[in-house]
Chain A
Amino acid sequence: MALRGELHGLARLPRTVAVRWVIYAILVALILLHIRLYDEHAFLYFRF
């Protein structure tokens, strides 16, 4: 059972350290591939 605050998508990853770091690396790579720091995409909920 995850603790309060640890209830998020990455809270329960495989125990193997190498697998965990592969997942982190994939996520970082996808973020860097798509992020546009100078063409900012505001969050939808800012308009509410």
Chain B
Amino acid sequence: MWPFLRTEAEHVPVRADLLGAASGVALRTWEPADAVAYAAGIGATRDEGPPSTLITLLAQFDVEFPAALGPWAFARVLHAEQSHTTYAPVPLRGRLSIRTRVSDLRDLATGVIVGISAEALDGDDGTLVARTRMGLFVRGDRSGATSASARRSGLPERPAEHTVVDRPAPTRPNGTLAAATTIRCTSKPRRPGPAVSLGRSCTGCARTASPVGRSSRCCARTARSGWWP
């Protein structure tokens, strides 16, 4: 839970002087075993080779928020934007120095977007390794800060080269997903096993299941329909 999210009664409106507020420097270290565990956790397969540098980075890139944020009402805050840029390879064993700051405030018609940027430097030589930015939309507030106007989407006018349609599974009256969900798993099973439940390791291949479609499978085995309780 983000520490600055509280109840409506505790909400403090976003202020212009929030711009530039920074966190302390956080040091993150990791070993190859950490990277492998994380890669397996998010579904990497042996076929994809060793954990990518990006995965390694993501494993360690937890956010240290500036203390000046909030408190904001939980029900007012939405995740609006996310970006990630890497500038240098990240080794499988290493150390990063990370600092986070409020980089921009953008007033919209119905609220304000608070941009929070993090910069990760190599813990040994200070080389810039990555920058991330997240935008939090705080509904109902206006900072009054002078910020850049809304950015253009940058999407071309021509027809798309690829289009993918993802149809949702039917929803039960009580809100649970009723129909089948595909669990993508490309590993060969080590042993026959029952269907895998979402969020748990597949008994056939030990991978964590993730929903990607409309039928249920793991290890090329057809599983039962339904969203597991």
Tell whether A and B belong to one assembly: no
